[in-house]
Amino acid sequence: MPSIGPYTLPNPVVLAPMAGVTDRPFRQLCRQLGAGLVVGEMVSSSPDVRHTRKSQLRLDHTGEPEPIAVQIVGGDPEIMAQGARFNVTNGAQIIDINMGCPAKKVCNKAAGSALLKDEALVKDILQAVVGAVDVPVSLKIRTGWDPDNRNGERIARIAEEAGIVSLAVHGRTRACGYKNTVEYDTIRAIKQSVGIPVFANGDITSARKAFEVMQYTGADGVLIGRAAQGQPWIFREVAHYLATGEELPAPQLQEVEQILLSHLDALYEFYGDFLGVRIARKHVSWYLQYQNSDGDFRSRFNRLEGSTEQQHAVRQFFKDTIRKKELAA
């Protein structure tokens, strides 16, 4: 099994950090459903935003199993080093540096994947962060800035020389966003160019696909992001397949209902009723996209203003869906 510093993962299947998605309730759920490691939402290294409600929620790791992995983002070596030290003081046991986010609001601040343009700055940031903390530091990158500037292999070697202990590679350039074909060839070349663990990321949507990507690229593990939205049980499916070569059956509707309701409870508890209800809407939409639900239910659900109403609506939806399935059998 791959290791990140002193931490040997129970399996090589990792929840990728996603802003607005991988909050504490979702991280805990994914761990319960088989993720070998979960990484929190990226947090800015800037002290100016450290004490906002948004940052405070992202920094809350109460009750999470070790190791606690926190992703930081920024473009200034000293501020990044300070941010790393702050998060370690706050309980982080792994610091992950974001140089993979393609979002314009991040790249316009010369952070995320925008940093790939400046290899000297990348080196300075990595050395500053590694030198600032006594916990392992990992790095998330893309294959390059755009299709004409794929420098992922050079960045990987810079990272290894700077003391980065593991690397996650999203197999697209910054310019590609989430479009175009994932460059598994490039991930394989990056893996062959370094001696540290490499995790493949990008369009890994099933257990079989995870196996094929690991076989083809030689990657030590996989990061799963968007494919976990609405089906967090994908982690146990992938981990089981990698360990046994057997595909687990899809969860029964009754289990999906139980998982969704427990997720909603965790959201209400973590955020409070007002915010929890609003955040629940997108998660319910993701779950139901796999249940052949009609747009009418989602539209009605999104107008509900209370947690009790939301829970009742979900129970009624699954009751009706299970009844229809039984009648059709």
Same domain, 240 and 259: no
Residue at which a domain ends, from 211, 244, 277: 244
Same domain, 75 and 160: yes
Active site residues: 101
CATH number for position 229: 3.20.20.70
The residues with which 70 forms a beta bridge, in sequence order, are 95
The whole domain housing 304 covers 253-328
Q: Which positions make up the binding site for FMN? A: 17-19, 71, 140, 170, 201-203, 225-226
What is the chain's pLDDT, residue by residue, as a tens digit (329 residues)?
Answer: 899 999 999 999 999 999 889 999 999 999 999 999 999 888 877 776 666 777 778 878 888 999 999 999 888 999 999 999 999 998 999 999 998 765 544 444 455 557 787 889 999 999 999 999 999 999 999 888 777 778 889 999 999 999 999 999 988 876 666 667 888 999 999 999 999 999 999 999 999 999 999 999 999 999 999 999 999 999 999 999 999 999 999 999 999 999 999 999 999 999 999 999 999 999 999 999 877 666 788 889 999 999 999 999 999 999 988 888 878 76
- What local confidence, expressed as pLDDT, does residue 160 receive? 97
Q: How many domains does the chain have?
A: 2
- Cα gap 329→320, rounded to integer Å: 14
Phi, psi of 199 (to 5 degrees): -110, 130
Q: Are residues 33 and 51 in the same domain?
A: yes
- Please report the pLDDT score of residue 53 as a whole number: 74
SS3 for 157?
helix
**Does one domain contain both 63 and 154?**
yes
Look at residue 48 in the predicted model and tell me its pLDDT. Answer: 66
- In a shared domain, residues 159 and 46: yes
The residues, any chain, with a CB within 8 Å of residue 107's CB and separated by 6 or more, are 101, 113, 114, 174
**Tokens of residue 167, six digits:** 């690397």
Identity of residue 79: I
pLDDT at position 113, please?
56
Burial class (CB in 10 A: 0-12, 13-18, 19+), 211: middle
**What is the pLDDT at residue 108?**
43
Q: Give dist(CA 119, CA 114) in Å, integer.
A: 11
